[in-house]
Each structure stands twice: as structure tokens, then as C-alpha cells.
Amino acid sequence: MINGAIDFPHAIIGSIAAGSGNDYVRGIQKTESVEEALSLFQGNAFRAIDIGRFETNGKAGYFVNSLGMGIDAEISDEADRSALKKWFNFVRAGKLIYLFIFIKKIFTYKPSCMELIIDGDRHLLKKVWFIVIANQPYFGGGMKISPMSKLDDDRLNVIAVHDITLLKLLTVFITVFWGGHLNMKNVDSFFR
């Protein structure tokens, strides 16, 4: 939706929580019910938020929540295509599909080297598990990947998890629910 609305600066974007992640609703819109979400469109509760821009293969795109690359992107892609997701959602356990695929992927994903350039500063990272660029705290269905992010401060947070063992990756996965991963070695956070 954001890519379609980007040329219309007065566009109003809202969401009704219906899936398994709902990070836009949780971190940006901050509504808990359908009624509360619909009431936003009846009043003047609108506000401008930051929009991230990325380019890949010469083509630009935009995001408001987060942009990920690495194992997290592979997990999201597979979960979205998985026939199991509708069954997990049916029994109101939609978030478990991500855990299921994460456990599968940690044994097959091959971390690679990446060059990260942030405002002209180059960072060569070895064995990158994932990089997330965040505009708000939540991703992956409520994990606090970027607890300090604010959606309207003209800044994005870049989090890179690299050069760690599989056991430490599991620790990152556990501590990300409260933001404890940011205190770990080789979990780098850059605010720009």
C-alpha cells in the first residue's frame, strides 16, 4: 500500500488487525480493536510518519514498519507462501508458523558477508544472519527488534546480527522479545 500511496502526500493509511503479525497496528497505529481502528478515520487523529526508502536491482521501494534481509526475510517469505499458515491462523496460533520455519531455517540458512553503507560509513560484516532497518519497535509479530525507534523522529534504526554462533543466534531470538539482544556482542545498532 505504501508504494502505491507514496505519490499522494495527503494519503491516509490505516489498518484493521487481521493477520498473524500486526506490527503496523501494534507499533504505528496503536489500536486494539476494529472499532478503535475505524474511529481513527472519523476524527482528526492523523499524523505524519517517517517513510523508509530502499533500492534493489535499480528499483525503488518504500516501507513504514521495517525492512529485513537475511534469515528473517526468508522466514517471512516462506511463512507467507506456506499452506500451514492458514491452519495456524485458524487455531489462533499464527505466530507459531514463524517459529516453526525459524527452527527449520537455522539448519539450512548460510550466513554471508555483507557491506552495509550508512550515511557514507562502510561496515563490512561477516557471517550476517540478518539486517533489519526499523522505523518502529516491533517486527515479527511483536518482537522488539528496535525498542528505541520512533516513527516520526526522521531517523531509522539499522540492526545487524553477524558473526555469531548458532547458540548465540538462539539467544538473540529469545531476548528480542524485550530488546535484550541490543546488549549482545555482534548485534550492532545504528541510528541514522
Say how far apart CA 3 and CA 79 lie, in whole Å.
22
Q: Does a structural domain hold residue 12?
A: no
Number of Cβ atoms within 10 Å of the Cβ of 161: 27
Is 64 within 8 Å of 47 (Cβ atoms)?
Answer: no
| Residue 2 near residue 64 (C-beta atoms within 8 A) | yes
| Residue 10 placed within a domain | no
Instruction: Give the list of residues 6+ apart from residue 150 with CB closer than 8 angstroms, or none.
Output: 136
Kindly state whether residue 121 falls inside one of the protein's structural domains: yes
Q: Say if residues 89 and 19 touch (Cβ distance below 8 Å).
A: yes
Residue with cell 522488539: 144
Angle between helices 96-105 and 71-81 (to 10 degrees): 120
- Residue 17 covered by a domain: no
Range of the domain at 71: 52-191
CATH number at 182 reads: 2.60.200.40
Distance between CA atoms of residues 149 and 67, nearest Å: 14
Q: Which residues contact 73 (CB under 8 A, 6 or more apart)?
A: 130
> Does any domain span residue 8?
no
For residue 102, is it within any domain? Answer: yes
d(CA 142, CA 179): 11
Task: Tell me how many domains the chain contains.
Answer: 1
User: Structure pTM?
Assistant: 0.83
* pLDDT per residue as tens, the chain (192 positions): 888 889 988 888 777 766 666 777 776 777 777 787 777 777 666 778 899 998 888 899 999 889 999 998 998 888 888 888 777 777 766 667 778 888 889 889 999 999 988 888 999 999 999 999 999 888 877 788 999 999 889 999 999 999 999 999 999 988 998 899 999 999 999 987
Measure the CA–CA gap between 32 and 17, rounded to whole angstroms.
8
In a domain, 134, yes or no: yes
- Is 33 domain-assigned? no
Please state the φ and ψ torsions of residue 45, each to the nearest 5 degrees.
-90, 20
Please report where in the chains the cell 523508509 appears, as a residue.
52
